[in-house]
Structure 1
Amino acid sequence: MKIVGLSGSITGSKTRTAMDCTIKRMIDNNPNAEVTLLDLKDYDIQFSDGRNYLEYDGDTGYVVETIMAADIVIIGTPIFQASIPAPLKNIFDLLPENAFLNKIVGLIVTAGSAKHFLVAEQQIKPILSYMKAHIVQTYVFIEEQDFYQKKITNDDVLLRIDRLVEDIVVLAEAFHTIREEKEAEYGF
């Protein structure tokens, strides 16, 4: 099972802190999985210009090809100005329309206040649905007050991260089993 964590911002530290925690828990619970964390801060990503994702090279090619090869994608995003950051939207634009077909996608959302809670519902989930993702419906929303010195200090948030990790894997295994059974029906 290939799992990719995507920290979808080039500024700030809270989303990366949340993604580090999530990826650590994913590795601890699934030691045989191949887990990769892509932090957009670490890459020089080109703007989408409509080309096929396979035509990009360098950092851009690496990031989009890594996402396309994944079975599971965990997207971490901050909310800025009641919206997702442009670097994350650019990643969505670089990928093909059916990029998340047969992939399980989970969300970690960080925000300055509870006022941004519905951004995931109104902006991110529709994009992921359009791109054919199997979305884990409950996402982890983390507010500014849940962090202290680059650590998550709210035990409830940590429990929700554990639950998200569990739900992602259970859903991935269920869909894998269903697909195998369906393919076996064809008999060739």
Structure 2
Amino acid sequence: MKVVAISGSTIGSKTKTAMLKVIAIFKQKYPQHEVILLDLAEYKIEFSDGRNYFDYEGDTKYVTETIMAADALIIGTPVFQASIPATLKNIFDLLPIHAFRDKVASIVVTAGTSKHYLMAEQQLKPILAYMKAHTVPTYVFIEEKDFLRKEIINDDIIFRIERLVEDIVLTVEAFEAIHAIKDAKYDF
């Protein structure tokens, strides 16, 4: 399985810190799977102008093609102005409408306060559904108080990340089994 973790902002450290923890847990529990971090702060990505994603060049082409080749996505996002960052929205805009068909998507949100916990439900999940992702129902929401010196210090958050990683693997395996049953019906 190829898993792509996206740190969906060009500024700040909390989302990247959270995504690095997710990747560390993933590699510890499921070392047989390939996990790639796309930290959007490390790439120069063009604004979407309506072209097909494979017509872009450089970092934009690499990021979009890496996402398209994934079996599962872990989307990490901070909350900016009660919404997702423009950087992350641009990634969605660069991809085709059905980009996440047959992909499992999960969410990790970092925020300064608990007042923004519904952002994932009201904004991010509808985008993922529109793009045809199989979204893991639960997500991890991490507040400012859960971090100290670029580390997650809340054991409950670590537990929820471990559970999210497990849910991702189980969901991918379940959909692979469903597709195998469907494919077996055809005699060619």
- Hey, what does 1:33 align to over in structure 2? 33
- Hey, what does 1:17 align to over in structure 2? 17
CA displacement 1:114-143 (0-9 Å, x = unmatched): 000000000000000000000001000000
The TM-score normalised by the length of structure 2 is 0.99
2:88 partner amino acid: L
1:112 partner amino acid: G
> What CA distance in whole angstroms lies between the structure 2 residues aligned with 1:187 and 1:33?
31
2:103 partner amino acid: K
> What CA distance in whole angstroms lies between the structure 1 residues aligned with 2:34 and 2:149?
29
Provide structure 2 residue ranges, at least 5 long, that are not aligned to the other structure. none
* Aligned-partner SS, 1:186: coil
- Hey, what does 1:126 align to over in structure 2? 126
> What CA distance in whole angstroms lies between the structure 2 residues aligned with 1:28 and 1:94?
32
After TM superposition, give the deviation of residue 35 of structure 1 in Å: 1.1
- Hey, what does 1:108 align to over in structure 2? 108
> What CA distance in whole angstroms lies between the structure 2 residues aligned with 1:187 and 1:135?
31
State the percentage of identical aligned residues: 63
- Hey, what does 1:163 align to over in structure 2? 163
> What CA distance in whole angstroms lies between the structure 1 residues aligned with 2:182 and 2:23?
31
> What CA distance in whole angstroms lies between the structure 2 residues aligned with 1:157 and 1:151?
11
- Hey, what does 1:85 align to over in structure 2? 85
1:135 and 2:135 aligned: yes
- Hey, what does 1:68 align to over in structure 2? 68
> What CA distance in whole angstroms lies between the structure 2 residues aligned with 1:37 and 1:82?
25
After TM superposition, give the deviation of residue 32 of structure 1 in Å: 1.3
2:119 partner amino acid: V
Provide structure 1 residue ranges, at least 5 long, that are not aligned to the other structure. none
- Hey, what does 1:153 align to over in structure 2? 153
- Hey, what does 1:183 align to over in structure 2? 183
* Aligned-partner SS, 1:28: helix
After TM superposition, give the deviation of residue 181 of structure 1 in Å: 1.1
After TM superposition, give the deviation of residue 31 of structure 1 in Å: 1.1
- Hey, what does 1:58 align to over in structure 2? 58
> What CA distance in whole angstroms lies between the structure 1 residues aligned with 2:134 and 2:162?
19
CA displacement 1:61-85 (0-9 Å, x = unmatched): 0000000000000000000110100
CA displacement 1:36-89 (0-9 Å, x = unmatched): 100000000000000000101100000000000000000000001101000000
* Aligned-partner SS, 2:182: helix
1:63 partner amino acid: V
* Aligned-partner SS, 1:125: helix
Aligned length: 188
> What CA distance in whole angstroms lies between the structure 2 residues aligned with 1:149 and 1:34?
28
* Aligned-partner SS, 2:81: coil
1:170 partner amino acid: L
> What CA distance in whole angstroms lies between the structure 2 residues aligned with 1:112 and 1:80?
10
